[in-house]
Amino acid sequence: SAFACGLSTNVIAHHLQLGTEQITSGHLATCSVLLGAACVGYFDVTEWKAVASSVFLGAPMVLTTTLVLQQKLGSELPLLHLPYNVVLLALLLASVSWNQFSIIRVVLVDEIQMESTIKNILTGIWKSTWCGIGMIFLAPQQIWVGIVIWCSILLYSRIVAVSMLLASFLASLGAAVLIGIPPGTLHTGLISYNAALSVGAIVSYQRHSSLAATCLMGFFAIVWTGIAQSSWNTLFSFIANLSMPLTVPFCAAAFLHLMIGTMPSSPIGSVPRENAIDIPPEDDLSTPRPTEEDADGDVPLVPPAAISVPTQSQVGVSNQKEYGGKEETKSDNYYGAVEEDGSDDDSAGVHVFLDDSTEDAEHSEHNLVNEETPLLV
């Protein structure tokens, strides 16, 4: 089971890495959680549910860490190599053995009522951070980066994550009351952790931040696992037992959304093309426009030669031939201006056109008259 699940995760990572230009490891975590949810739902025996859950507690976290480092550092993806798969499989099998031992120990101690709530929380912390210990050897850089992003997650998106968790658990509570399913007691912490993993993957998919989702998963897993195994075990166990199936549709929707290719085509961080300003090559804007006043305090009347504006003496002469003998003041840089007197009579001797259009940035340099430059008529 562990080997098949790990192999499926690697195959998904391999195909997505080769077939998609833009990829975030949160998508891979979503795929892993989807497979994990199906695997957990398949096994009915409590011990096998714990085994299947243990596999998928670590695989997405190690996977996301590897891909984040590969994206940030530009190194080769080590997940596709056989030695890395062997190490990952060994960590998973070791974690399964330790989780089985922890479950047995917690059950026995709970029966003789010698385990306190604090010790239960510490046990949940260890069971939810075993893969983090393995990542210390595989990816040391992730620890410090994870601490920073973990703090930012707590300050920025904790409301969204808490709301999703509460909605899932409340829906599970209502379903349990209506159906009358008896609560379970052995795999409460592991199923709760898997539910937190699903929520973290969903948040990661929506925000395209895989490392932050990894830290978010661990945070909720530590807290919820400790609470679920405390003195409130009866209340929280049947809530957590049904929370995982409710997260499967969300993971499936994210998985299908990724597979049908509706991701944005431009890479993250690229400048959109529509924000760029194109300057026509025939326009020489090297000469600056007059912005300072002369000695008399007046603004120069004639702009530089680079901007074609007819002077008062040239009105009705330079453009007479171009418009079939009709006297016009429309220069080559006319873009739908209006007349100052509001009339549309083209037979007048002198017309002044005011261009107040601000729609196109490339036309701003061609305005015949702006607000700072008066004209003498």
Q: What is the mean pLDDT of residues 147-171?
A: 44
Taking each helix axis from N to C terminus, what angle separates 117-128 and 130-138, rounded to the nearest 10 degrees?
40
**Residue 40 pLDDT > 60:** no
Alpha-carbon span 143 to 151, nearest angstrom: 13
Question: What are the sequence ranges of the domains in the chain?
Answer: 2-263, 290-377
- Tell me the per-residue pLDDT of 295-354, one tens digit each, with 9 for 90 and over: 555 555 555 554 555 555 555 544 444 445 444 444 444 444 444 454 455 444 455 555
- Give residue 69's identity as a one-letter amino acid code: L
- Tell me the per-residue pLDDT of 161-219, one tens digit each, with 9 for 90 and over: 444 444 444 444 444 444 443 444 333 333 444 444 444 444 444 444 444 444 444 44
Q: What does the pLDDT read at residue 209?
A: 42
Residue 26 pLDDT level (bands cut at 50, 70, 90):
very low
Alpha-carbon span 216 to 150, nearest angstrom: 7
Q: What are the b/e assignments for 66-94, b being 16+ CB within 10 Å?
A: bbbbbbeeeeeeebeeeebbebbbebbee
Q: What is the mean pLDDT of residues 358-362?
A: 48
Structural element, H or E, at residue 353: strand 353-354
Q: What is the pTM of this model?
A: 0.19
* C-beta of residue 135 within 8 angstroms of C-beta of residue 61: yes
Lookup: tokens for 94? 């070791």
Residue 158 CA to chain centroid, in angstroms?
15
Mean per-residue pLDDT over the chain, rounded: 45
